[in-house]
Amino acid sequence: MNKETEHACPILSSPSIGYHLRPEIWGGVECTVNRVRDTFHNQLLATGHWHRADDLERFASLGIRTMRYPILWELVSPDSLDTRDWRWTDERLAQMKSLGITPIAGLLHHGSGPTYTSLVDPAFPRKLARFAQLVAERYPWLETFTPINEPLTTARFSGMYGHWFPHGCDCSTFIRAIILQCKAIGAAMAAIRQVIPQAKLIVTEDISRSYSTDMLRYQADFENERRWLSLDLLAGRVNHHHPLYSWLTGCGATEAELDSLSGCEPDVIGINYYLTSDRMLDERMHLYPKRYHGGNGRQDYADAEAVRASPDGIQGHHVVLREAWQRYAKPVAITEAHISCTREEQVRWFMEAWQAGLDLCREGVPVRAVTAWSLLGACDWNTLVTSENNHYEPGVYDVRAPVPRPTMLTRMIRELNEKGTFHHPSLNAPGWWRRPERLFAHCRPKHHDSEELEYGNSQPLLIIGSSGTLGKGFGRICTTRGLHHHLLTRQQVDITDSASVTATLRKYRPWAVVNAAGFVRVDDAEDNLRQCFKENTIGPLKLAAACKALGVRLVTFSSDLVFDGTKGRGYHEQDAVGPLNVYGLSKAEAERHVLALMKEALVIRTSAFFGPWDRYNFITSTLGALARGEKVQIADDLIISPTYLPDLINTALDLLLDEESGIWHISNSGALSWAELAYSSATMAGMDTDGIICCRSNQFGYRARRPRNSTLTSELHNLLPTYEDALGRYFEEILTDASSEAVVAGG
């Protein structure tokens, strides 16, 4: 690295002409180390980054040259400021220098410090300042710092809502926490600048907006002033004329300490903006699920996500960036851009943030960057990191694999860095946060059901097999995900006829084809070998040939019945096949021929799928019979991996968008017999299990031999939750009759 690169942060230096045209792309790893009671939750451990030094090489390969990166107080000096362990930080920062990545050093990320301090400790600012000085002395080449991430949000979660340590649930604790954090930021930067005079400060915050009914406008107005509180305190704006001054002093803040908070304005204001940030306050509580019910001590009301409760939706990146720029006249950046959702929605969200930054740059607003956050995803934010449930949200990479797996976002970041643009047919529809079906029922436009998305001339996804359970499921979920698609019947395309396939592909010009067609009657296949092979082997092969010739991606489905069941435990992708019946043989031959012809094809093996929309699947049929008081004979010696249809389809679509190829096993984790699946389902449904009669499989007179244990496992991933989790969601969707909303996660 040359001297100029080593000693200059390009984002904070004088911008070039090109810089004015577009923001940079920064990166960040989710690095929260928050405390709940006496337990510290460490996201660096949860996503595995703590143990993977080669992650930084992955990030550099994307063209990322600036990263928000942790040098966390709790991890370096967990027991005392007199004892420090710099080994991990030394290694990572040295590697970043060698890769040409400029760190934005974070000292606390939603943390309250080690056990020898807290957010309400009067000595908290002095202690953080001492740690900041130690960091500066250790790494004097650093120039950019975020001493505390989201001080306002951390104060709310720790001092007002009681989620994190010190678990305060009152205004006075909240105010103590926000004031002490702002003091600590100022003290930390003063200590750093004694060592690094040119050090720059980036303050990150979630600048959310509250909307309301007329009755609750007073509360929304208050929250919309409070959202700027940390930045106003650091800028020395909280004086006698500030709208919150009386409230602050009435809750314990002294005039002296408010007056002392000045002179630490940020060099860049970082906006961490999420789909749940903007809120809607509504006194009509009966219109909202109970989880939204709350109040302010004066009035009870629902506090819901504005994206679901307001027809106007969220304020959006463009508005929040402009507001921050106009209020403080400081450069701005989006310092976190992430949602937990399906792959194309993640890309749509980032591209919306990127476009906002791009448009504002062209208008003269200094938008420094849009940050890909989190590069490695995040864990347990569905419960605000108050417990460890291993709920993972993929990021630019998916860490549910032996090594972090590149996703569609990886491709997007690389192309934005290289070209400044990224295009994919799936982006021609708006994100779910812009579509009317996102709204609670009472907020929806009257005729929204008749409104169809406009896809223009965008390339569709072709789904072949519209009459089957799998094909119908794909159509349903593609509609929910806003993916332009066409469902084709056997009459519209004959996959066993090359001319029919080629003509169909030329007509629709798809970007990808999903083959959900085929011969599915396992026992009948024994007497219909020719027809089974024609539909299950010849058809996929002709599809692959046409897709290969026209540059169209392909996903096709195989089965656990390609195995003989003698392994005694789960089969992974590299295990040798050994089908016992004609159906399994037809699928094994299809795999072999398709991948020999088209190595970029995606072949998904799955097993025993069930879903909420098919009344003929095993679980629905079994429970229906039990409900009618019938006895049901079920095999207890055939072990399978149940697969929840929405999980299968959503994962297949994500893998297709990620441009994965080869053979993948996709099933919910767990192994059990058909009889055990029946017992589990009936028990979860609250039904009497006495009607379930366990039998050996040889009592059913199957014409086709079945493998004793065809459980699927994977060496490539751990993408799907347990079958127990899937069963719970299956019953929830049936009971709520809201399957179309439940399929799309996140937000």
What CATH number should be reported for the domain holding residue 489? 3.40.50.720
Q: Is residue 676 part of a domain?
A: yes
Q: Is residue 344 part of a domain?
A: yes
**Band of pLDDT at residue 504, cut at 50, 70 and 90:** very high
> From CA 85, how far away is CA 69, in angstroms rounded?
17
Among candidate residues 389, 420, 451, the one where a domain is terminated: 420
**Band of pLDDT at residue 43, cut at 50, 70 and 90:** very high
pLDDT exceeds 60 at position 24: yes
Rg (CA), the chain: 28
Domain count, the chain: 2
pLDDT for the residue numbered 403: 96
Percent of all residues in the chain with a pLDDT value above 90, rounded to a whole number: 89
**Band of pLDDT at residue 7, cut at 50, 70 and 90:** very low
Q: Is residue 296 part of a domain?
A: no
- By DSSP bridging, strand 39-42 and strand 200-205 are unpaired
Domain containing 588: what range? 459-743
Indicate the SS3 state at residue 692: strand
Tokens of residue 217, six digits: 């406008």
pLDDT for the residue numbered 746: 33
Residues 683 and 595 in one domain: yes
**Looking at residue 155, which CATH number applies to its domain?**
3.20.20.80
Residues 614 and 534 in one domain: yes
pLDDT for the residue numbered 5: 31
Q: How does DSSP classify residue 278?
A: S
List all residues 6 or more positions away from 397 whose beta carbon is below 8 Å from its beta carbon.
55, 58, 375, 376, 377, 404, 405, 406, 407, 410
Residues 502 and 414 in one domain: no
Q: Is residue 45 part of a domain?
A: yes
pLDDT for the residue numbered 13: 41
400-436 pLDDT per residue, tens:
999 999 999 999 999 999 999 999 999 999 999 999 9
Residues 517 and 600 in one domain: yes
pLDDT exceeds 60 at position 130: yes
Q: Is residue 662 part of a domain?
A: yes
Q: Is residue 218 part of a domain?
A: no
Among candidate residues 391, 420, 449, the one where a domain is terminated: 420
pLDDT for the residue numbered 9: 38
pLDDT for the residue numbered 615: 79
Closest CA to 659 of 559, 554, 544: 554
**Band of pLDDT at residue 259, cut at 50, 70 and 90:** confident
Q: Is residue 439 part of a domain?
A: no
Residues 351 and 473 in one domain: no
> From CA 245, how far away is CA 247, in angstroms rounded?
5
Residues 480 and 404 in one domain: no
Q: Please give the full DSSP string across 80-111, using - where no structure is assigned.
A: BTTB---HHHHHHHHHHHHHTPEEEEEEEES-
Residues 9 and 113 in one domain: yes
pLDDT for the residue numbered 448: 55
Residues 609 and 485 in one domain: yes
Distance of alpha carbon 541 from its chain centroid, rounded? Answer: 35
> From CA 13, how far away is CA 586, in angstroms rounded?
63
Count Cβ atoms within 10 A of the Cβ of residue 163 and give its class: 0-12 exposed, 13-18 middle, 19 or more buried: middle
Q: Please give the full DSSP string across 628-682, using - where no structure is assigned.
A: TT--EEEESS-EE--EEHHHHHHHHHHHHHTT--EEEE---B--EEHHHHHHHHH
Poorest-pLDDT segment among 80-84, 192-196, 550-554, 682-686 = 682-686
Helix (H) or strand (E) holding 258: helix 255-260
pLDDT exceeds 60 at position 12: no
Residues 464 and 406 in one domain: no
pLDDT exceeds 90 at position 20: no
Count Cβ atoms within 10 A of the Cβ of residue 467 and give its class: 0-12 exposed, 13-18 middle, 19 or more buried: exposed
pLDDT exceeds 70 at position 739: no
Buried b (16+ CB within 10 A) or exposed e, 235-272: bbbbeeebebeeebbeeebeeebbeebeebbbbbbbbb
> From CA 637, how far away is CA 673, in angstroms rounded?
6
Among candidate residues 420, 449, 481, the one where a domain is terminated: 420
Residues 412 and 476 in one domain: no
pLDDT for the residue numbered 452: 67
> From CA 682, how far away is CA 702, in angstroms rounded?
25
pLDDT for the residue numbered 86: 98
Closest CA to 375 of 150, 101, 587: 101
Q: Is residue 283 part of a domain?
A: no
pTM of the predicted model as reported, rounded to 2 decimal places = 0.93
Closest CA to 510 of 551, 456, 471, 465: 551
Residues 364 and 486 in one domain: no
pLDDT for the residue numbered 447: 64
pLDDT exceeds 60 at position 261: yes
Residues 351 and 489 in one domain: no
615-648 pLDDT per residue, tens:
788 999 999 999 999 999 999 999 999 999 999 9
